[in-house]
Amino acid sequence: MDTGGAAVLRTGESGRFLPERTRRAPVALVIGGSVVGVLAALPVVYLLVRAFEAGGGELFETLRRPGLLVLVLRTAALAGVVAGASVAIAFALAVLTAATDLPMRRLSSVVSVLPLAVPCYVGASAVVGLSGPGGVFEGMGAVRGFWAAAIVLTLFIFPLAYLPLRASISRVDPRLIDAARSLGESGLGATLRVILAWSWPACVGGGVLVGLYTLGEFGAVTMLRCDTLTAVIYEQYRSSFSRTGAAVSSLLLVVLVLACLGVGGLLRRRGSWSSGRGSSRGGVTLKLGAWRWPAFALVMLIGAGPVLLVVLTLLSWLGYEGGAGGVGGGLWSGAATSASVAIAAGVACVLMTAPAAVLAARYPGRVSGLVERAVSTGFALPGIVVALGLAFFALRATPFAYQTWGLVVAAFVVLFAAQSLMALRASLERSPVRLEEAARTLGRGPVGAFVGVTLPGLAPGIGAAWVLVTLSAMKELPAMLLLSPAGSVSLAELVWSSTREAMFASAAAPGLALIGVSAGLVWLVAMREGLT
């Protein structure tokens, strides 16, 4: 297919040789790479089919259901409140840890992402237990409802916004702060007028991330009795006569997801921020003066406080009846279930995204673009929506797969493929094509060159992708609830069902195990962000 050396390689603007655009990807690679894209697109497509085949009348009836509008508004409001509050907290912590002379900045940075180590539903379980009968906060009345859910979610997921904000703020050019102060702006004013404006794209990006997460959150909101669309989808699906209703509610949730992305796009465009190049020398260091230690205490309180509260609560429950000893059997089988499914999901995800990653890194084009878009859609979708779409598809097309582990693994692949694809692609792009070409000139075929030269260098990337997916799958709740075969219970399900039935003691051990799993994830993330 090569039409002479000059046509195969052309000099890019940067002066480097780039692969010729017209170089065709091998057909096998295109097919292999598309599989994960098709799988990722399947749930939404099938939900659409399921909702509309019921016919206009039934669809209309479902949409007119009393209370549905309130539900949609409540879901949107919760996402908005949690996103706003998270960005506010994350901005304050990011400024303190990345742009001031806060004591022990490295420790403070790690503590600022620590809340991610507590899955929201584990946090909610502890809060519900503490405010219930016999709990420490019993006198305060039950902690339930919208604001309880908003506070709990904010406290445990604001680090999703903190990470991009910290990265952005640490690149602010210190001269800009000097310039603002020489123009009469106070320290606080300069922080807000320069740093906030500079990191605005990161604020919006972080807010969207938190918003998407909140829209899909299931465990915490149901425990705290703040029913959102996810809770209703679950109920509708369980009461099997209302499956069209579940499909319609899921599509409404997808609409909210799109709205969230749309609002993000609008906010980001506002004022059309030009992307500054960022500072090459060290970042800003604002002097906190007498506020250094109080600020440090604040960071510790926000970052470590809720985590400590939850961990200590769960530990104290271990001692109760039905604690560590009582659910021993359930705990171990739950752990085995969670671990085996998650490990399988990790392997499946890496295997399925690998061709797509090679396609995206080596043959960027229309196919790879579509696959990447489909995969990132899967990441933005709530777990319950993906699970429902796959359940409908399996019931109709492959009934033998319904209620099998295969379907659960498929759902996890859709949900977490984006993480794996990003990790693989990044490590592929770091390994130079030049080496492969050298191997080709030494007599290796294309596959031989890839396996012999590129693959060994990918090991860390593959490892990272697998660990990311496996740990994320361990703590996943709604897809597991919907799709797992009858009779098997994962750790996440154990926490959820124990809390629902007010048997808090039996939520303690699986909750602690899940915190351990998530702590591993946090450690990975912190390492990648250079916080440790």
Partner 1 sequence: MTECKAHAICCRSLSKSFGETPVLRSLNLCVDRGELVCLLGPSGCGKTTLLRCIAGFEHPGAGSIQIGGKTVAGAGLASPVAPEARRVGVVFQEAALFPHLSVLGNVAFGLSQGRGLLSRLVRGPGRAERARAREMLDLVGLADKADRRPGELSGGEQQRVALARALAPEPEVVLLDEPFANLDRSLRLTLRREVRDALKACGATAILVTHDQDEAFTMADRVGVMLHGEIAQIDTPERIYEHPADTRVASMVGRGALLDASVEDGGLVCCGLGRVSADGIGEACAGAGCSVFVRPEGLRLNPEGCPRSVAGRVVRVEYAGDHRLVTVDIGNGAAIPVKVDPNLRVSVGTEVGVEVVGPVRVVRGVKPPSPVTVSAKRTAEAGRGDR
Separation CA 438–CA 448 (nearest Å): 12
Name which position in 22, 186, 239, 340 contacts partner 1 (CB under 8 A). 186
At closest approach, how far in Å is the CB of 211 from partner 1?
Answer: 22
Q: Which is nearer to partner 1, 189 or 463 (CB)?
A: 189
| Residue 58 binding partner 1, by CB under 8 A | no
Beta bridge partners of 100: 286
DSSP state of 381: S
Among 16-24, 171-179, 210-218, 479-487, the segment contacting partner 1 (CB under 8 A): 171-179
Q: At a CB cut-off of 8 Å and minimum separation 6, what does 357 contact?
A: 421, 424, 425, 428
> Are the C-beta atoms of residues 386 and 378 closer than 8 Å to each other?
yes
Q: Which is nearer to partner 1, 194 or 517 (CB)?
A: 194
- The pair of three-digit structure tokens given for residue 441, joined into one six-digit string: 């000139």
Q: Which is nearer to partner 1, 32 or 103 (CB)?
A: 103
Separation CA 152–CA 146 (nearest Å): 10
Separation CA 34–CA 415 (nearest Å): 16
Name which position in 197, 315, 318, 426 contacts partner 1 (CB under 8 A). 197
| Residue 271 binding partner 1, by CB under 8 A | yes
Size of the site for partner 1 (CB under 8 A): 29
| Residue 171 binding partner 1, by CB under 8 A | no
- The pair of three-digit structure tokens given for residue 184, joined into one six-digit string: 């009469």
The closest of 441, 444, 467 to 455, measured between CA atoms, is 444
> Are the C-beta atoms of residues 127 and 119 closer than 8 Å to each other?
no
Q: Which positions from 198 through 217 interact with partner 1, judged by CB under 8 A?
A: 198, 200
Hey, what amino acid is at 351?
A: L
Q: Which is nearer to partner 1, 181 or 225 (CB)?
A: 181
Q: Which positions from 62 through 101 interact with partner 1, judged by CB under 8 A?
A: none
| Residue 180 binding partner 1, by CB under 8 A | yes
Among 142-150, 183-191, 204-212, 338-346, the segment contacting partner 1 (CB under 8 A): 183-191
At closest approach, how far in Å is the CB of 448 from partner 1?
Answer: 47
> Are the C-beta atoms of residues 510 and 334 closer than 8 Å to each other?
yes
Give DSSP secondary structure letters for 116-159: GGS-HHHHHHHHHHHHSTTSTTGGG----HHHHHHHHHHHHHTH
Separation CA 493–CA 219 (nearest Å): 9
| Residue 184 binding partner 1, by CB under 8 A | yes
- The pair of three-digit structure tokens given for residue 148, joined into one six-digit string: 């309880």
Hey, what amino acid is at 249?
A: S
| Residue 283 binding partner 1, by CB under 8 A | no
Name which position in 23, 181, 292, 500 contacts partner 1 (CB under 8 A). 181
| Residue 487 binding partner 1, by CB under 8 A | no
Name which position in 1, 6, 27, 188 contacts partner 1 (CB under 8 A). 188
| Residue 173 binding partner 1, by CB under 8 A | yes
Separation CA 166–CA 328 (nearest Å): 41
- The pair of three-digit structure tokens given for residue 344, joined into one six-digit string: 């399988």
At closest approach, how far in Å is the CB of 190 from partner 1?
Answer: 8
| Residue 281 binding partner 1, by CB under 8 A | no
Name which position in 53, 138, 178, 501 contacts partner 1 (CB under 8 A). 178
Name which position in 275, 290, 441, 487 contacts partner 1 (CB under 8 A). 275
At closest approach, how far in Å is the CB of 93 from partner 1?
Answer: 20
Separation CA 79–CA 245 (nearest Å): 22
At closest approach, how far in Å is the CB of 377 from partner 1?
Answer: 30
Number of other CB atoms surrounding residue 136 within 10 Å: 12
| Residue 373 binding partner 1, by CB under 8 A | no
Name which position in 19, 80, 132, 187 contacts partner 1 (CB under 8 A). 187
**The tokens 């961990």 sit on which residue?**
311
Interface mask (CB under 8 A) for partner 1, residues 308-327, using x and -? Answer: --------------------
Beta bridge partners of 17: 11
> Are the C-beta atoms of residues 221 and 227 closer than 8 Å to each other?
yes
At closest approach, how far in Å is the CB of 166 from partner 1?
Answer: 19
Separation CA 322–CA 428 (nearest Å): 49
| Residue 274 binding partner 1, by CB under 8 A | yes
Q: Which is nearer to partner 1, 275 or 441 (CB)?
A: 275
HSE of 389, CA atoms in CB hemisphere, 13 A: 27
Interface mask (CB under 8 A) for partner 1, residues 125-164, using x and -? Answer: ----------------------------------------
Name which position in 179, 308, 336, 397 contacts partner 1 (CB under 8 A). 179
Name which position in 68, 192, 288, 351 contacts partner 1 (CB under 8 A). 192
Among 187-195, 241-249, 297-305, 413-421, the segment contacting partner 1 (CB under 8 A): 187-195
Hey, what amino acid is at 224?
A: L
| Residue 3 binding partner 1, by CB under 8 A | no
At closest approach, how far in Å is the CB of 106 from partner 1?
Answer: 14
Q: At a CB cut-off of 8 Å and minimum separation 6, what does 274 contact?
A: none
Compute φ and ψ for 404, nearest 5 degrees.
-120, 165
> Are the C-beta atoms of residues 178 and 43 closer than 8 Å to each other?
no
* Site for partner 1, rule CB under 8 A: 173, 175-176, 178-190, 192-194, 196-198, 200, 271, 273-277
